[in-house]
Amino acid sequence: MDLLIVNIRQLIQTEDKPVLKVSGNDMSLLGTLSDAFLLIEDGTISDFGTMSELGRKEWIGRTDLDRIDATGRLVFPSFCDSHTHLVYSGSREMEFTDKIRGLSYEEIARRGGGILNSARRLHDTSEDELFGQSAARVSEIIRQGTGAVEIKSGYGLNLSDELKMLRVIKRIKENFPIMVKSTFLGAHAVPAEYKDKQERYVDLIINEMIPVVASEELADYIDVFCDKGFFSVYDTERILMAGMKYGLRAKIHANELDFSGGVQAGVKYGALSVDHLERSGDEEINALNGSDTMPALLPGSAFFLGLPDPPVRKMINAGLPVAMASDYNPGSSPSGNMKMVMSLACIRWKMLPEEAINAVTINGACAMGISDTHGSIARGKVANVFITREIPSYEFLPYAFGSDLIETVILKGKIHPPAPLKGGNKPGH
């Protein structure tokens, strides 16, 4: 059944002339409509406008429309989380304690923790169990308002375990209404058995892993952790070129730990996004300016690891677009809550609420290559939206950082179960 949402206090991120991304000063602009309606037909956004216009619509007499009364509530496009590692086994809270005691990310990694710890756990976990754990996380982020997500492999670090991860991502695509993009990240770390033999591991990725991943059509993108202590620019370029031969567009982990050259490599090879960027300066900004590569920032991991703030304001003032993602993973960002991502960006980085909303919707969609179909309220786009509880304004979403403010989730035009959490009232039908 088609759906009509009426009496919307405010409809957020509306576009009459859709764009693929929002850049520079335009990031502080946000299309909104007060006292609005939203019509969803066949899983897509068909029409929207003010309630005063509703009576003049030729379809208003339809009796087959399911109606939701959103009085006092706001309607947002679903969040687009362009960088996650949510397919993993177990947790790493002991490393959390190690960080509290003063150990650095690099020190934990050298002791066999970090990515290699997750790789060992994943190896010992069956595909079905891995899917079960990951499905619970996907259900969680859907309840928190995410309607599109990119999921990376990278805790396998050998062919069979990387394929296990990618098959789980494929099962998520098949079993959930959320939009899912899959990224092959075999170059996430160098496995222990290839210590001091990194070039041989890179050869393994290029000659064995990529061809199989591509032949089984398990990935949309290819990624490399191009940073201090992980993979060099030379390694990165070799891997990206190999992936591109099989139609895998680049995404890069870059400049989290040092000025790695990963941003420049990403731009050189037409990466869809370069992610992290805590260590970035004029050279990186200049490289990104005029390119089609989206800088994607990860406030959750920067917060969790105590990393330096990326130069967000400098990027925006230079005319760049900025996306933000959760980096949901067991070691450095154990949360996929995109509302919290916005709050962190506003509180710690002094981003305006409008900038933060643009970063987690339309620009997040652009960083996933789906902003033509997701990320805003525009006619013809997929009807992935959420309805808030009764709140006074869109600024309230990042302001009330610890509150559950999402009442109803709609994916592909259908209300998504489970029912709202205790304490809330579902909008009236």
d(CA 14, CA 33): 7
pLDDT tens digits, residue range 203-217?
999 999 999 999 999
d(CA 284, CA 259): 9
- What is the share, in percent, of the chain residues with pLDDT greater than 70? 97
Residue 4 CB contacts under 8 Å (≥ 6 apart), including other chains: 37, 38, 39, 40, 65, 66, 67, 68
pLDDT tens digits, residue range 319-364?
999 999 999 999 999 999 999 999 999 999 999 999 999 999 999 9
Measure CA of the first residue to CA of the last residue in the chain; give whole Å.
13
pLDDT tops 90 at residue 426: no
d(CA 263, CA 265): 5
3-77+375-415 and 79-366 share one CATH topology? Answer: no
pLDDT tops 80 at residue 71: yes
Of 116 and 137, which is predicted with more confidence?
137
pLDDT tops 50 at residue 423: no
Q: What is the pLDDT of residue 329?
A: 97
Question: Could you please report the per-residue DSSP string of 218-282?
Answer: --SEEEEEESTTSB-HHHHHHHHHHHHHTT-EEEEEESSSS--SHHHHHHHTT-SEEEE-SS--H
Q: What is the pLDDT of residue 420?
A: 41
Query: Which tokens in the block code for residue 94?
Result: 């002991």
113 pLDDT band (50/70/90 cuts)? confident
C-beta of residue 119 within 8 angstroms of C-beta of residue 161: yes
112 pLDDT band (50/70/90 cuts)? confident
Q: What is the pLDDT of residue 50?
A: 97
**Residue 185, Cβ density class (10 Å: 0-12 exposed, 13-18 middle, ≥19 buried):** buried
- What is the share, in percent, of the chain residues with pLDDT greater than 90? 89
Phi-psi region at 386: left, alpha or beta (left = phi > 0; alpha = psi -120 to 50)? beta
Mean residue pLDDT of the chain comes to 95
| Nearest alpha-carbon partner for 69 in 413, 390, 423, 396 | 390
**What are the backbone dihedrals phi and psi of residue 395, each rounded to the nearest 5 degrees, phi first?**
-65, -25
pLDDT tens digits, residue range 400-412?
999 999 999 999 9
| Nearest alpha-carbon partner for 360 in 143, 73, 78 | 78
Q: What is the pLDDT of residue 63?
A: 87
SS3 72: coil
d(CA 2, CA 275): 38
Count of CB atoms situated within 10 Å of the CB of 176? 17
Q: What is the pLDDT of residue 107?
A: 85
C-beta of residue 385 within 8 angstroms of C-beta of residue 145: no
d(CA 417, CA 420): 8
One-letter-per-residue 3-state SS of 170-197: HHHHHHCCCEEEEEEEEECCCCHHHCCC
d(CA 355, CA 345): 9
For 149-173, what is the mean pLDDT?
A: 98
SS3 363: helix
Please give the CATH superfamily to which domain 79-366 belongs: Metal-dependent hydrolases (3.20.20.140)
Q: What is the pLDDT of residue 224?
A: 98
Domain boundaries, the chain: 3-77+375-415, 79-366
d(CA 355, CA 233): 31
| Nearest alpha-carbon partner for 271 in 281, 263, 259, 280 | 263
pLDDT tens digits, residue range 378-391?
999 999 999 999 99
| Nearest alpha-carbon partner for 173 in 212, 217, 143, 215 | 217
Helix pair 115-123, 159-175: axis angle to 10 deg: 80
d(CA 332, CA 336): 12
pLDDT tops 90 at residue 238: yes
SS3 149: strand
Could you tell me how many residues make up the chain? 429
Strand ordering across the sheet containing 79-84: 79-84, 146-152, 179-187, 221-226, 249-254, 273-276, 294-297, 323-324
Pick the CATH number of 3-77+375-415 from 3.50.50.100, 1.20.1600.10, 2.30.40.10, 2.60.40.10: 2.30.40.10
pLDDT tens digits, residue range 257-307?
999 999 999 999 999 999 999 999 999 999 999 999 999 999 999 999 899
Query: Tokens 């177990």 belong to which residue?
Result: 90
